[in-house]
Amino acid sequence: MPQATRPLQEKWDHDNQMDAKAITHLKNAGFEMKSGIIRAPAGYTPTEDDYSAIDYLCQEWDYGWEGLPEKGPMPLIPQVSRPFNPAYRATWDAMTPRERQWSFIADMLIVGAVLLILYWAAS
């Protein structure tokens, strides 16, 4: 399981409240969370604390962040939590929506192949 940085864990009181403080903060700001995907309300400009809570939930709890609704139609696949990792963000931002889609499909095919090999090895 991924793990958020210690400063993010401390800010969102990870040791005592797990994900409750970050979720409460986002819900009070009007964010919607369904099936582990965080969505901002239309017309809302997230604050620094909002982005911090989103970053914490994506890194620590594998939530996904769909982005802001006013930036265009919903993508075919949700933006996954990995772009919040600075090591991946620059690459992800440079990709076109089509490249992101193919990257996601390739990742799923690789995961499927690995699971199939593990299944065959266990049989």
Per-residue pLDDT at 75: 44
Give the domain range for residue 88: 6-93
Residue 18 lies in a domain: yes
Does the predicted TM-score (pTM) go above 0.85?
no
Residue type, 88: Y
- 5: helix, coil or strand? coil
How many independent structural domains does the chain possess? 1
In this predicted structure, the answer to whether residue 106 has a pLDDT above a threshold of 50 is yes
* CA gap 78, 36 in Å, rounded: 11
Least confident window among 18-22, 58-62, 84-88, 98-102: 84-88
d(CA 60, CA 80): 13
Domain for residue 68, yes or no? yes
Mean pLDDT over residues 36-51, rounded?
84
What does the alpha-carbon distance between residue 7 and residue 12 come to, in Å, rounded to a whole number? 9
- The top-scoring range by mean pLDDT among 23-27, 70-74, 83-87 is 23-27
